[in-house]
């Protein structure tokens, strides 16, 4: 395993996407084999990002919430088959087919679509919008969702639709059954037993933390530092952690619920969290096949089952993953947004597995799209167009002194020599094809052929 290859992969991505800093922790054979930081936790103060630097882990918090629910279930405080209404009598979203149960919230299969409470909150906290509901506690979240009955999209258990609101409801259930604040339960029953000493929820702890990230967003194409945003309700994505602490968390799962002779959850409980509970509606960005309880599952990562979850905020991204059969795991945190954390993590896991990481599907696609970027001209340059790549999306642009057009190119089929796309133009789907030749690439569009020299 050559971890210098990981360095050579990560640093250019941080620079390309204007990401301030990152950290990566790698686990193998029940020990952390590498942990390091890249870039800066605070650019202006020239403070480095290390594997101990704390940052928001966003929706990775959902796995902690799910773990807490399973712990309460093993203690007899609840059952995942209980109706939500049994624990939250004021919860009045009642589908006709079957009541929403705790297991439906855990697997995002309640039939409730995203109610955008989190999206609205983060947008307001980062200054993107001024609209903000006063969601100060779980009671206010319950009130926020009181009109959602008419927004149900499926019977419980039928479809997986990612829903932050459902995990806020789980946080409320934890508070009711544990008779303590959600954050205190996670701290006392998960963080402290696992010796995740530097993980926390509160603004007070953040302000006293001498090794915590600053928050950065991309605004008008440039990186901008903002005050670290905090939400009052945290069960869907409010935990701060770091590479070292998350490595301990992953080791607990790899040891079937136990770490350093301290049992957090039974092996049966871990199996309940990690087995498939709902099939994904389509192939996901990570090529996952299903969702468990607070965790996603991929059934074929180099022939292995991989458990995972990511987190994304306008100012921070994160990702954890582990391969139970091999004892390998990875945690990635980014100080801002940018290149997807799951891609960095999969490169790291491929290195641990001693596989050719360059042949990961998303990297093959990146190379395929990048090869098509450039300036194209028709015969004798009568017409010209430009193909550019923004993130994962190709665009075709044409301009003259009077107008400029930009349309997305949606990939449909590809081979070694041909790539077929469609583009929405004038209310129709226009087919395009790139044909690769040794000395040039031709773009066939309607009656025209545009050529890019290689």
- Please compute the mean of the pLDDT values over residues 189-196 and round it to a whole number: 98
- Please compute the mean of the pLDDT values over residues 316-339 and round it to a whole number: 96
Q: Using the predicted structure, report yes or no on whether residue 312 has a pLDDT greater than 50.
A: yes
Residues 351 and 382 in one domain: no
The contacts of residue 221 (CB under 8 Å, 6+ apart) are none
The contacts of residue 111 (CB under 8 Å, 6+ apart) are 95, 100, 104, 152, 153, 154, 155, 156, 158, 159, 161
Alpha-carbon distance 68 to 54, whole Å?
22
Domain boundary among 328, 359, 390: 359
- Burial bucket for residue 426 (CB in 10 Å: 0-12, 13-18, 19+): exposed
Q: How many residues does the chain have?
A: 454
Alpha-carbon distance 211 to 49, whole Å?
8
Q: Using the predicted structure, report yes or no on whether residue 125 has a pLDDT greater than 90.
A: no
Domain boundary among 311, 342, 359: 359
**Residues 420-445: tens digit of each pLDDT:** 999 998 889 999 999 999 999 999 99
Confidence of residue 197 (pLDDT cuts 50, 70, 90): very high
DSSP E strands, 371-446 = 374-377, 384-390, 393-399, 404-414, 418-425, 428-436, 440-445
Alpha-carbon distance 336 to 215, whole Å?
7
Domain that holds residue 282: 4-359
**Residues 61-120: tens digit of each pLDDT:** 999 999 999 999 999 999 999 999 999 999 989 898 899 999 999 999 999 999 998 888
**CATH no. for residue 427?**
2.40.128.210
| pTM value surpassing 0.85 | yes
- Give the total number of structural domains in the chain: 2
Alpha-carbon distance 296 to 291, whole Å?
4
Contact at 8 Å (CB) between 133 and 123? no
Residues 256 and 222 in one domain: yes
Domain boundary among 359, 387, 422: 359
The contacts of residue 192 (CB under 8 Å, 6+ apart) are none
Residues 41 and 123 in one domain: yes
Residues 395 and 426 in one domain: yes
- Please compute the mean of the pLDDT values over residues 270-288 and round it to a whole number: 80
Alpha-carbon distance 128 to 229, whole Å?
12
Residues 339 and 379 in one domain: no
Alpha-carbon distance 334 to 14, whole Å?
9
Confidence of residue 55 (pLDDT cuts 50, 70, 90): very high
The pLDDT value recorded for residue 286 is 46
Alpha-carbon distance 239 to 187, whole Å?
10
The contacts of residue 427 (CB under 8 Å, 6+ apart) are none
């Amino acid at each position: 395993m050559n971890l210098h290859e990981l360095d050579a992969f990560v640093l250019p991505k941080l620079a390309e996407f204007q990401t301030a800093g990152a950290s990566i922790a790698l686990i193998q054979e029940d020990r952390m084999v590498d942990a390091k930081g890249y870039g800066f936790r605070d650019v202006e103060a020239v403070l480095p990002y290390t594997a101990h630097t704390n940052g928001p882990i966003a929706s990775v918090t959902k796995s902690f919430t799910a773990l807490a629910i399973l712990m309460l279930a093993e203690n007899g405080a609840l059952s995942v088959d209980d109706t939500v209404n049994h624990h939250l009598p004021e919860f009045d979203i009642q589908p006709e087919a079957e009541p929403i149960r705790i297991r439906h919230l855990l697997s995002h299969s309640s039939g409730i679509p995203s109610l955008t409470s989190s999206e609205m909150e983060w947008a307001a906290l980062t200054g993107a919008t001024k609209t903000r509901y006063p969601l100060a506690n779980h009671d206010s979240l319950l009130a926020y969702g009181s009109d959602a009955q008419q927004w149900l999209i499926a019977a419980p258990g039928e479809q997986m639709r990612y829903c932050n609101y459902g995990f806020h409801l789980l946080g409320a259930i934890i508070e009711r059954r544990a008779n303590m604040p959600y954050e205190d339960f996670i701290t006392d029953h998960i963080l402290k037993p696992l010796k995740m000493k530097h993980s926390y929820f509160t603004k007070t702890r953040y302000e006293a933390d001498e090794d915590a990230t600053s928050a950065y967003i991309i605004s008008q194409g440039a990186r901008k530092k903002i005050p670290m945003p905090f939400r009052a309700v945290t069960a869907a994505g409010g935990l701060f952690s770091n590479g070292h602490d998350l490595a301990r968390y992953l080791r607990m799962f790899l040891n079937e619920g136990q770490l350093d002779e301290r049992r957090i959850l039974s092996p049966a409980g871990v199996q309940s969290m990690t087995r498939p509970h709902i099939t994904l509606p389509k192939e996901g960005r990570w090529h996952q096949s299903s969702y468990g309880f607070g965790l996603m599952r991929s059934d074929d990562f180099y022939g292995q089952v991989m458990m995972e979850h990511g987190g994304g905020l306008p100012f921070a991204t994160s990702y954890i993953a582990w391969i139970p059969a091999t004892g390998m795991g990875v945690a990635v945190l980014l100080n801002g947004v940018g290149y997807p954390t799951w891609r960095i993590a999969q490169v790291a896991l491929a290195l641990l597995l001693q596989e050719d990481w360059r042949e990961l599907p998303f990297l093959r696609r990146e190379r395929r799209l990048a090869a098509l970027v450039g300036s194209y001209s028709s015969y004798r340059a009568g017409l010209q167009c430009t193909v550019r790549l923004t993130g994962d999306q190709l665009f075709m642009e044409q301009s003259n002194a009077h107008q400029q057009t930009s349309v997305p190119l949606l990939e449909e089929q590809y081979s070694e020599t041909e790539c077929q796309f469609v583009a929405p133009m004038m209310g129709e789907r226009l087919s395009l094809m790139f044909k690769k030749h040794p000395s040039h690439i031709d773009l066939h569009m309607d009656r025209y052929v545009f050529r890019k020299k290689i």
